[in-house]
Amino acid sequence: MIERFAAPQPGSRASTSQSLQPRQTSGACRCRHRQTPRLCQASASSNGTGQHIAELVDGRTVSGPDLSVQHFSGLKLPNPFVIGSGPPGTNYAVMKKAFQEGWGAVIAKTVSVDSSKVVNVTPRYARLHPSSEVQGKKEVIGWENIELISDRPLEVMLDDFKRLKEEFPGRVLIASIMEEYTKHAWEELIGRCEEVGVDAFEINFSCPHGMPERKMGMAMGQDCEILQEVCGWINKAAKVPVWAKMTPNITDISLPARTALQTGCEGIAAINTIQSVMGVNLDTLRPEPSVEGYSTPGGYSSKAVKPIALAKVMSIAQLIQKEFDGKADLSGIGGVETGRDAAEFLLLGANSVQVCTGVMIHGYPLVKKLCGELQEFMQQHGFESIESFRGATLPYFTTHTELVRMQREAIDAKKRKRSGLAKDDEWSGDGFVKEAESMVAN
Ligand SMILES: Cc1cc2nc3c(=O)[nH]c(=O)nc-3n(C[C@H](O)[C@H](O)[C@H](O)COP(=O)(O)O)c2cc1C
């Protein structure tokens, strides 16, 4: 069991005067060329098949750059790829498969104390395909679900957790939990999960559909006052690290993220799904996915959500750097299907990357490809560890006003260069020939 570090006191790490500084190593590529990542042209290494598949033993790569990650909470993963809460972590059989294939950690499907209140419907998914096919196959770019949290009894899920921890003691199993606005229910859920040995909690403050009338999921995660109180209960009860999983269905995700970190959560996971209506069937005129001709807004995931997820992760990473001295875990989620997708989340400051829909589309062996592709990216730049490039892109975000100022400066500099010397006083002895050339028209 990983012990929790001392929870930050509310506001204790806050420093409004501290501006966002580039990490010590700046945004420069850590490769031999010492160029900015964008400019680095170092050649890619390939395993000769064109496919970059890593060999994994207990989730560890056997060769190539080191993919292991150490979170600030103490959670250590053999690679940064984590099964995101959902169908890929729904029972013992699938979670076992995830560990066997080499996933860095598994987050189980969200559980609550009383599963009898959870009733799922079918169909519960609807996919979005682009108009063209790739190699004769319909690609999936968007995925809507109206699936609730786990409908399996808590005792059954706890037995699964226990068995998994007995069989894979060295691997990280995270329980995803969600409850009503009731202190004792949270305490009971946390206590029972810890008893069977889970390594950490992810709090589902973000399910976009389901039970808003019971103030669960996203309804709780959008309300910072309730969040503060509930996080207080959770962090008092939990002995293992706690990540708060945030909803993107909010204007400023840094508000609930700040509340969660100030009340003692060790980390933030983002994003859960985006509220969506997949479409309307133009033959039946009914919404999709349709259950007895009716539907309800669901949660959107897969490739299409990645840009939104990156923006939310970037904003939380900035918050963690500015106000929490960089000392909090950040798990990025949304549309990851390749090692290069993952590299983008890591470059924006995430410590780990979760995959849910990608596993539903490509299966559990995907992790080997993810690791291989991430290693290939690292080799291109000469990065030897995740930490050597994590957050490297973050300093290159600024305000729009700054973009305008920088562009104006660049244009002025170009103009000055093009028009040569403004006054005869500016001619110099050493640069005389170049100065003359700068003013020649042909
Ligand atoms: C079918 C389905 C069920 C999900 N169930 C849960 C859940 O029980 N708890 C949770 O926190 N997130 C749940 N999610 C959200 C995912 O964990 C993830 O945050 C989201 O789908 C974005 O990542 P992705 O594009 O890799 O799927 C679910 C997603 C899908 C597609």
Report pLDDT digits (tens) over 255-275. 999 999 999 999 999 999 999
Q: In sequence order, what are the beta bridge partners of 287? A: 280
Rounded to the nearest angstrom, the gap between the alpha carbon of residue 302 and the centroid of all alpha carbons in its chain is 13
**Strand ranges in 171-262 using DSSP code E only, listed in sequence order:** 172-177, 200-204, 242-245
- Mean pLDDT over 48-55 rounds to 76
302 lines ligand 1 (CB under 6 A): yes
User: What tokens appear for 151 in the block?
Assistant: 């409908």
Q: Is the pLDDT of residue 387 over 80?
A: yes
| Atom 23 in ligand 1: residue holding the nearest Cα | 334
Q: Is the pLDDT of residue 360 over 80?
A: yes
Per-domain boundaries in the chain: 56-397, 401-437
| Atom 14 in ligand 1: residue holding the nearest Cα | 86
pLDDT the model gives residue 208: 75
pLDDT in tens, 306-358: 999 999 999 999 999 999 999 999 999 999 999 999 999 999 999 999 999 99
pTM: 0.86
User: 369-393 burial, b for 16+ CB within 10 Å, e for fewer?
Assistant: bbbbbbbbbbbbbbbeebbbbbbbb
Peptide bond into 289 cis (omega under 30): yes
pLDDT in tens, 397-426: 999 999 999 999 999 888 877 667 778 888
Rounded to the nearest angstrom, the gap between the alpha carbon of residue 333 and the centroid of all alpha carbons in its chain is 3
289 lines ligand 1 (CB under 6 A): no
23 CA from centroid of ligand 1 (Å): 31
87 lines ligand 1 (CB under 6 A): yes
418 CA from centroid of ligand 1 (Å): 54
The Cα angle at residue 155 between residues 151 and 158, in degrees rounded to 5: 95
Q: 3-class secondary structure for 58-107?
A: CCEECCCCECCEECCCCCEECCCEEECCCHHHCCHHHHHHHHHHCCCEEE
- Please, which pLDDT band fits residue 79 given cuts at 50, 70 and 90? very high
Q: In which element (H, E) is residue 331 found? A: strand 329-333
Closest ligand 1 atom to 303 CA: 25
271 CA from centroid of ligand 1 (Å): 9
336 CA from centroid of ligand 1 (Å): 12
CATH superfamily of 56-397: Aldolase class I (3.20.20.70)
As annotated, the active-site residues are 207
- Please, which pLDDT band fits residue 167 given cuts at 50, 70 and 90? very high
Strands 274-276 and 298-301, by their bridges, are antiparallel
For residues 308 and 234, what is the distance between their CA atoms, to the nearest angstrom?
A: 28
User: What tokens appear for 144 in the block?
Assistant: 């809507």
DSSP SS3 for 252: coil
110 lines ligand 1 (CB under 6 A): yes
Q: Which of 201, 272, 344 to mutate to test the pocket of ligand 1 (most atoms within 8 A of CB)?
A: 272
